[in-house]
Structure 1
């Protein structure tokens, strides 16, 4: 079955979920009610140290002003009494054999992004939360795993097998789920229970600045409920609007936006494998099946793909992507398979792929009549040319020249999409020009009968050559609205030498001995 626009991927083999992620609220008359929004928040408190995969007690430290403090500790170091926020000297005194590693924020961010890509196996809408959390929109996909509780256990179990400590909470609002998991609450929260569940949590659930937490605790406000019970105007006036926003998101009164790590695809299919795929033949067979499924879904939807993404999930959690693009919308599995063929060598299965997905992030309308007769009068030969350009574009840049509204030679043409229609600027007319202008025009020595006349002899290299024929001049003035004031006008001549060469030469500057001659291109 095809995926509706922005619907989540399935966890089954080669199928897509039929229920899109909807918004909360009553459905309009005559339409089925939209499902309640449900989100899964994940917290990875030891990601900086666990991603290093070092045995024994390990601690990550960082410089905070004049102090060196511990920011993350392994389970072994925690059991020995080390904790985040501790002074580095104290940690060394408690556990001298601890392995100390300096903080690497860029490495931590890259590891979290890889985990977000890995989480796309559960839902197409995954976002990052600060530097140690993920948020998954699981609306409409929980039934594929046996319910929300089973889905949560599946995610936590897989993360545990990857050697990562994780906590997870499911709630209706994204802000509530994040607050619950940061406050130490785990499980599945029923709908409309946000405020009662969040109120008893400590202020750590709101992820506030340490100075703000200290100020609130100094007033005797030690949990979310006690802060929320205070007059809102007074809180905003004293502590700022950020505290009010954090409270509203945690209590479910305001929506917390999810910025997806990847935009949800328009259509997608996926397959899981009990035995991981490790061979090239197995990958090709899986790709062929996925292409058949997706092209069938595109045909039923009356659309064609402009871009496709093959995403492979390795057993160890590594995610690898291969993308292809087409100039024209297509749903021909054989043509798409040829485009993927040259890129499959980039995949490194190693221990094998346990899940492969094929997505169409971009599609265009394509009816059956258009596919048979061509779009806008497209002939079979044009279709073959389009497929040839698609194959070439997977290996090198492909473009065409299009006219641009400028009479200055360097600006008269521009690179354009080979499949895009060419719009000719008003008043634009082709002129005799070289097929290719020289990027760095070489200087010429020229003899002319009169100062403002065409050349009759010129030296290109070491030898002087006689000019048999010359046409010109063609005077080109600078474009005052975009050129610098000191740019000089140019006089162009088309000349034919006794050797048979036909050149496009330019004279810039005042006439006579001070004029500067250059070769700007070769004429056909």
Structure 2
């Protein structure tokens, strides 16, 4: 009998209660040694063409058409990258030839990097045809590195991509092994021995460096590693030494993940993909409970929550919410996520959902009966719900005597420290978004106006005072900015205006900049 979608989903993996590989500085024990899974997609350039049968991709180089990629079937017929297109057609006339699509391949590689986040929280594309995943500390969750490699290769195969996998302690070593077809695991500290028999082009070296090394009789990585490093560095530059040290683990290698490492995450895999909103809501509610429980154990609350949903076709969708104050209330977070869940398009279903606390801060346990704290929390919860539908902010004073710079927008719950007033004279509570141009008549150059023309008619001024001269802020304004003279003007009907004269008396322009109370 088919199980109803609203029932709790069956789990294939244990929930990721904590992010693996968290640095020791955050209080989660020592950081494990680096273990990088490299996935090489040798046929990516032809797979993105979506053409059945033997196929090759070509591009123009000068006035020649050269083969840049060929699938396994085409290579079995004698087609090779670098071959002239005419020679390829002569050797294998049945192979379909298409112009290469580097933008399509690059976009697909980015999509696959997002897909790889289901393997571990840190993943990165390695152009033009590689993926890197930091799987340090994930053995307890995935069943070991061998199983992780098999699952990654099988998952890519379901998406229509052939892959080769290798695991090593450095990204350069793992990718070099995968691109050379040496699949498997390299024990920690054995990267130099594993790389010894590989050709020089397996490392990210410049072509002129490889040619120069080969002229010296050094054709393999092991040949270069056996040489004294100082003479090589003097002849070929520091790039060669850095590439060797990064590959062997002697120098650290940056890992630029496509998404930042969350402070904490919780994930569920489903044997039967989730399609209905009821099933998705149930899964998210379950994950929120576990995530918030873990945050409570650490004494932290989240400020930014990201939901990542993986579809069975490899697509990845993300929705994020923020909170004004740190929170770990599952009910409140679920209400905030509700409108975002409406935007999800499950297609054939989600087979994995992950919730990530990307920004957390300390949050002490709440004490009941404290009215001030309860009121602040209630206000924060209300603003969080409003911000999911409407923009909201508060104004904060800023130290500037230029009127439009005197305040700035900040978060509604941001602290506002008082600043000293730049002017003792009253100013409008609100300035016009776009000042209205006026015409004015004054008896003397710096006297207040006696008549103004506003909105098509001349009006006599009952009372006026000024000027209040404001000089440009030389440390942030352009040199040709003119001074301003402001006047407080009272109209016959009682309205009080804040008008401005921009420029000197001979070339002045008048504007209405605000309404006085």
Q: Which residue of 1 aligns with 2:313?
A: 316
| Structure 1 residue 85 displacement after superposition | 2.1
| Structure 1 residue 379 displacement after superposition | 4.0
Q: Which residue of 2 aligns with 1:381?
A: 375
Instruction: Spell out, residue by residue over 1:369-406, the C-alpha distance to the aligned partner (whole angstroms, 9 max, x if none).
Output: 4x6577xx954333333223222323343222211211
Q: Summarize the Cα distance change of 1:503–1:126 in structure 2 as closer, same or farther, 3 Å threshold.
A: same
Structure 2: distance between partners of 1:348 and 1:430: 57
| Structure 1 residue 268 displacement after superposition | 0.7
Q: Summarize the Cα distance change of 1:82–1:357 in structure 2 as closer, same or farther, 3 Å threshold.
A: same
- Aligned-partner SS, 2:254: coil
- 1:421-432 pair list within 5 angstroms: 421-426=415-420, 428=422, 431-432=425-426
Q: Summarize the Cα distance change of 1:480–1:170 in structure 2 as closer, same or farther, 3 Å threshold.
A: closer
Q: Which residue of 2 aligns with 1:4?
A: none
| Structure 1 residue 302 displacement after superposition | 0.9
My pick for the range that moved more, 378-387 or 185-194, is 378-387
- TM-score normalized with structure 2 length: 0.89
Q: Which residue of 2 aligns with 1:287?
A: 284
Q: Which residue of 1 aligns with 2:408?
A: 414
| Structure 1 residue 333 displacement after superposition | 1.6
Contact kept, 8 Å, 1:507 with 1:517, in 2: the verdict is yes
My pick for the range that moved more, 479-488 or 266-275, is 479-488
Matched, 1:488 2:482: yes
| Structure 1 residue 161 displacement after superposition | 1.4
Instruction: Spell out, residue by residue over 1:204-238, the C-alpha distance to the aligned partner (whole angstroms, 9 max, x if none).
Output: 32243344334433443322222222332332233
- Aligned-partner SS, 2:432: coil
Q: Which residue of 1 aligns with 2:397?
A: 403
Structure 2: distance between partners of 1:430 and 1:342: 47
| Structure 1 residue 66 displacement after superposition | 5.0
Contact kept, 8 Å, 1:21 with 1:139, in 2: the verdict is no
1:472 aligned residue (466, 474, 496): 466
| Structure 1 residue 514 displacement after superposition | 5.3
- Aligned-partner SS, 2:178: helix
Structure 1: distance between partners of 2:44 and 2:469: 67
2:73 aligned residue (76, 79, 83): 76
Q: Summarize the Cα distance change of 1:238–1:454 in structure 2 as closer, same or farther, 3 Å threshold.
A: closer
Q: Which residue of 2 aligns with 1:109?
A: 106
Structure 2: distance between partners of 1:321 and 1:503: 49
| Structure 1 residue 32 displacement after superposition | 7.4
Q: Summarize the Cα distance change of 1:496–1:200 in structure 2 as closer, same or farther, 3 Å threshold.
A: same
Structure 2: distance between partners of 1:490 and 1:320: 52
For the aligned residue pairs, the C-alpha RMSD in angstroms reads 2.7
Structure 1: distance between partners of 2:90 and 2:61: 20
2:179 aligned residue (164, 179, 182): 182
In structure 2, runs of 5+ residues without a counterpart are 1-10
Q: Which residue of 1 aligns with 2:496?
A: 502
Q: Which residue of 2 aligns with 1:360?
A: 357
| Structure 1 residue 270 displacement after superposition | 0.6
| Structure 1 residue 20 displacement after superposition | 3.3
- TM-score normalized with structure 1 length: 0.88
Q: Which residue of 2 aligns with 1:442?
A: 436
Q: Which residue of 2 aligns with 1:301?
A: 298
Q: Which residue of 1 aligns with 2:8?
A: none
| Structure 1 residue 17 displacement after superposition | 4.8
Contact kept, 8 Å, 2:17 with 2:291, in 1: the verdict is no
Matched, 1:454 2:451: no
2:342 aligned residue (342, 345, 349): 345
Q: Which residue of 2 aligns with 1:517?
A: 510
Matched, 1:16 2:17: yes
Q: Which residue of 1 aligns with 2:145?
A: 148
Contact kept, 8 Å, 1:125 with 1:260, in 2: the verdict is yes
Structure 1: distance between partners of 2:236 and 2:12: 45
- Aligned-partner SS, 1:442: strand
2:387 aligned residue (387, 393, 401): 393
My pick for the range that moved more, 273-282 or 489-498, is 489-498
| Structure 1 residue 250 displacement after superposition | 3.1
Instruction: Spell out, residue by residue over 1:186-207, the C-alpha distance to the aligned partner (whole angstroms, 9 max, x if none).
Output: 1122333323222122223224
| Structure 1 residue 483 displacement after superposition | 3.7
Structure 1: distance between partners of 2:321 and 2:55: 42
Q: Which residue of 1 aligns with 2:164?
A: 167
Structure 2: distance between partners of 1:420 and 1:479: 27
Matched, 1:95 2:96: no
- 1:228-243 pair list within 5 angstroms: 228-243=225-240
